[in-house]
Amino acid sequence: MKKSTKIKTWAFFMRLGNRWGCHQREDRSFKIKGWQFPICSRCTGILTGQLIGIFIYLFQLSIPLYIDFLFLAIMFFDWFIQYKKIKESTNFRRFITGNLAGIAQMSILIKCIIFIINIIKAL
């Protein structure tokens, strides 16, 4: 692939990541061969966590709601201690806490969809 094509492809994904609402800070993003990911490490974790959440559902596993909220709280706590300048987070920690939050988001979303379907069926 020509370098100009690579740059155009990378620029397209960077615009897409920006439209999805990611801040895309270079210091908070992973890189592969010098190319910055189009979303930051926390957003990367959330996205992969959501995919994992879909697979968890497909394998007919269920995460209790209190665990979902615990996973969300862990990501919030990581963000909060960094926001209050108590301790700077690392990209690896952002990725892991993002994964947990993404799993929780998908789990809650699936529970809500199933709840709504059951209400509609009962009508």
| Six-digit token string for 123 | 């009508």
Residue 93 CA: distances (Å) to CA of 18, 61, 74, 90, 119 = 22, 25, 11, 5, 39
57 in the same domain as 33: no
103 in the same domain as 65: yes
pLDDT of residue 8: 82
13 in the same domain as 45: no
62 in the same domain as 79: yes
Q: Distance (Å, rounded) from C-alpha 57 to C-alpha 70?
A: 18
With CA atoms as reference, report the closest residue to 65 among 19, 107, 97: 107
Give the domain range for residue 24.
1-39
Contact 104, 54 (CB under 8 A): no
65 in the same domain as 25: no
81 in the same domain as 29: no
Q: Distance (Å, rounded) from C-alpha 11 to C-alpha 50?
A: 24
65 in the same domain as 6: no
Number of domains within the chain: 2
pLDDT of residue 34: 85
Which ranges of the chain have pLDDT less than 50?
none
